Structure 1
Amino acid sequence: MTVFVPFQPQSRPVPGVLLGTLSLSAAQVADDAPAGTVIGSLLGKAPGSVVALVDAHSGAVALSGTDLVVGLSLPSAGEFQVTLRETLAGAMNSPRDTTLTIEVLPASEINPPQFDFSPVGDRVLALNTAIWTVSEVAGTLVPFDFAPAAERSAPIGSTIWTVT
């Protein structure tokens, strides 16, 4: 009598195949970023490997393909850590965990206020006519770089350039 035993392949480590440390292309996010906002793209992922979130800091982040994105709710400004697990059949050090630090910043630091310059009048202007006026910016003083060194901020509604 012959007994057949089904073949079951074993995943054996392949010499020289090692998983490296994962990193992110960026690790800062605004505290008001909506769910799905890309924080950064995964770097260092081995071809054919699978990456999963082991600790998503209570749903603060999620994976979308090879991007780490904002999850359901971000913590307030500060830092938090998430752990990713990369698995690759045959890699000597699989699975490999990597802990990444994400920094949550106030939105004003990530997306500083932008000038909303509105030209005043037509192409022909009278003397002492405002050319550009600062408007639609949060706060009362707005920094700018094209003024003389002594004046690098202006109250909202003030004239920056005047025809003389």
Structure 2
Amino acid sequence: MIRQRQAGDLRDLQLAMREVHEAEGYPSMWPADPMAFLQPSGTVAGRVAVQHEQVMGQVLLCSLSHGSWAAQLPPETLEVKRLFVAPAGRGLGLGRALMEAATAHARTLGRPAALQVAEHNRAALALYQALDWRHLTRGQATWSGPDGHRPMVAVLQSPPI
């Protein structure tokens, strides 16, 4: 089940994010303030995936961040951020359902969406391509991994409204 994120979900989301971080390295560096990471400034909407009454993951729609790739998009574009699903929720279609919910919500607002994803994250790229998100550009990430290296990211745009 996908529903609107509520303030009471944040603790469970932090625990799920910790599991994802330990299993898969997302986020690449554990944030000093995990609660702030889960609710960045500019958040417009959040959705969570719930399985057996347990919050398993989330996706956010945020105001477009400033970056070289953002200049290629209309200013009303929303950025998809903080998408993750706990390892126990994998294989259930929750990531797909979260992305579909985020895309649908952006459409109800009459706004396009975009995202950036590390190019080495093949599973995420495959999901976005299966949902007809289109490659816009690529560039170096603004964030660094544990080794200090800034990976290459692909910037994708939602299907036309």
Q: What's the TM-score once normalised by structure 1's chain length?
A: 0.22
Q: Which has the higher helix share?
A: 2
TM-score normalised over the length of structure 2: 0.23
Indicate the structure (1 or 2) with the bigger Cα radius of gyration. 1
Q: Which has the higher strand share?
A: 1
